[in-house]
Structure 1
């Protein structure tokens, strides 16, 4: 199976692997809110050990739900997925779009709809068999592109012609809170013209390869070739996160991304520690393991990473919270939770288990 070194026997860790997956699922099942939402925390340090403020957002349910898709069939998993799907479907707005914040959040009226949440939620709901207006939201995304074909992050007013009526309906909402909207753009580390690498990778993941998404692939390739993965996105400031979202597209059959496969694999392997972990956290390890598997790598480093994930699971089935995304390039705030880390760890464990089954 492995291309680098001798394999540890799968039968020696299979029982621990299954036990870790079972405990992780039980943790998410018991920590999912009644409405299907998952908690998220805002903090000011990556380890999230200083102050933490709970926040009500769309993103965790979409990400965790997508992580668990490879574990479908187990009763608790199906329960988690359906609750998350109904929660997300209820949060849907005009033309099949989503906001970062839930409908009761105090910032919902100020924060514009965005294509990152919209793409991630849409992908998950499609996989769950929910009926959403994909034609409308994909056309809205297409009409929300820059002149070079890359997609803007925000669905908001810009000084340029746009024939999409849904766009104007959503953009016009700013007029209801005009002054507060100006303050929003002034105080947050973002602009109306943001184009972000991970956001475009997630749009590609949802909308797949078509004429309108062709510009995304060379854009992502160039980022890796020029070693800009640490500074290519306003919100995702961790290289492992960028690798993960790009490699998901490799796994979906975007063979054009294979030109950067070896670079990504080498950069991940360079950051493996003696204890088998990758990077500086168990979240990095989970993202690194899944990225390697999605890119087609089968080295023994993967199994060492899996052993580290299993060994660092807590007694209640969770893994440590760690910053997954940030409030801007200055990293003044970050967002994460035990639930979110646990979702990515479960995805890595499931990917590893499926890798063995396929051999």
Structure 2
């Protein structure tokens, strides 16, 4: 009998079965990546995205899918997908190595300010792809975009406080130049120029790494888990599996201080597993849960059950169903997701499990 955190499942899943599912998912992404390297995202108003759906042109999906596919090295089709994604993201880069949530052709591009979430996720991916981006400049901008307790603001916008960073003032002046549009943005969307979000800080931590300026973030993330505040710690990421996933990436990256919350994350994920092996409400939740469990060192039977669920729910053309990944604010009036995004996270979970089986 396998222990809760001990050996991998007694009955493993055949590598042929895993490879077949992974290859079908890769083929789907290859066929649904746009010629410019972009991946589509949809906006809807329900988690299952079964009512109205509006296609959106965003930077974020290519970065998220790209980071997930980094777990499948030495695969020719994956390398082609990653290469196209990297070039797309590099083309979307703004001054100082910053990124907007929307692409340069989107109707909201000039309305929405730059943010550290997209900037950190894209920068991390492009660094892994060995693209030449102004790392020192955008990291210093991030460091200068913190509040007094050391946590990072989400938005790169004007605030009534001293800031010596010249690049910061470029974006602040740009906002003031379009003051009316800026006021519309802050009125229309559920956000504030003083937002501090947990997942955003976790993504910044992954990009910047452990250093003097990110120590408050580490303490902040530990406190969120210890006080069980993960359900309401971020404006945009309203799903606890998303929170666990992004925090766990820092654990896997070697931020040893976060080891103190590994058991808490593992326990809370496992108690949300369903009888059919899935986690939460969707295959997306299941994929995020499995990657988070592996990142935190869990190797028990319940991962295999979740993997079997993922394989079972794969569609004939290789994709997995879309589900809300992030939201337009705490009221959850709008959400964003796509088949491509879900497929990226499912492929990450499958590949990570395949690697885990090989080491056991």
Q: TM-score, normalised by structure 1?
A: 0.98
Question: In the aligned structure 2, how far is the partner of 1:204 from the partner of 1:3?
Answer: 32
**Deviation of 1:149 (Å):** 0.4
Q: Does 1:343 align with 2:344?
A: yes
CA contact (8 A) 2:2 2:10 kept: no
Q: Within 5 Å, which residues of 2 pair with 1:52-63?
A: 52-63=53-64
Establish whether residue 242 from structure 1 lines up as the match of residue 253 from structure 2.
no
Cα gap change, 1:42 to 1:6, in 2 (>3 Å): closer
Match in the other structure for 2:201: 200
Alpha-carbon distance in structure 1 between the residues aligned to 2:180 and 2:9: 61
Is the CA contact 2:25–2:318 (under 8 Å) kept in the aligned structure 1? yes
Do 2:218 and 2:258's aligned partners in 1 also have CA atoms closer than 8 Å? yes
Tell me by how many angstroms 1:6 deviates: 8.1
- Structure 1 position 224 matched with structure 2 position 229: no
Alpha-carbon distance in structure 2 between the residues aligned to 1:341 and 1:167: 34
Deviations 1:99-130 (A, max 9, x none): 00000111111111000000000000000000
Mapped partners of 2:181, 2:207: distance in 1: 32
- Which residue in 1 is equivalent to 2:3? 3
| d(CA) in 1 for partners of 2:2, 2:125 | 32
After TM superposition, the score normalised by the length of structure 2 is 0.98
Partner of 1:118: 119
1:266-281 pair list within 5 angstroms: 266-281=267-282
The 1-side partners of 2:3 and 2:173 are apart by 55
Pair 6,23 (structure 1): closer, same or farther in 2 beyond 3 Å: closer
Using the TM superposition, give the Cα deviation of residue 15 of structure 1 relative to its aligned residue in structure 2, in angstroms. Answer: 1.5
Distance of aligned partners of 1:258 and 1:6 in 2 relative to their CA distance in 1, 3 Å threshold:
closer
In the alignment, structure 1 residue 179 sits paired with structure 2 residue 194: no
Contact kept in structure 2, 1:2 and 1:298, CA below 8 Å: no
Write the distance in 2 (CA, Å) between the matches of 1:19 and 1:298: 22
**Cα distance in 2, alignment partners of residues 6 and 66 from structure 1:** 25
| Deviation sequence 1:52-81 (CA, Å, 0-9, x none) | 000000000000000000112111100100
Equivalent residue, structure 2, for 1:308: 309
- Separation in 2, partners of 1:126, 1:319: 28
Secondary structure class of the residue paired with 1:148: coil
How much does 1:308 deviate? 0.3
Compute the RMSD of aligned alpha carbons. 1.1
Find the aligned partners of 2:171 and 2:42 in 1 and give their Cα distance: 28
Give the aligned partner of residue 135 of structure 2. 134
Partner of 1:320 in structure 2? Answer: 321
Counterpart secondary structure, 1:96: coil
Deviation of 1:20 after TM superposition, in Å, equals 0.3
- Relative to structure 1, the CA distance from residue 6 to residue 171 in structure 2 (aligned partners, 3 Å threshold; closer, same or farther) is closer
Cα shift at 1:39: 0.1
Distance 1:2 1:16 in 2: 22
C-alpha separation in 1, matches of 2:73 and 2:63: 15
* SS of alignment partner, residue 138 of structure 2: helix
Q: Does the 8 A contact of 1:185 with 1:191 survive in 2?
A: yes
Asked if structure 1 preserves the Cα contact closer than 8 Å seen for 2:8 and 2:300, the reply is: no
1:77 aligns with 2:78: yes
Task: Please state whether the residue corresponding to 2:344 is helix, strand or coil.
Answer: helix
Q: Distance in 1 between matches of 2:155 and 2:266?
A: 31
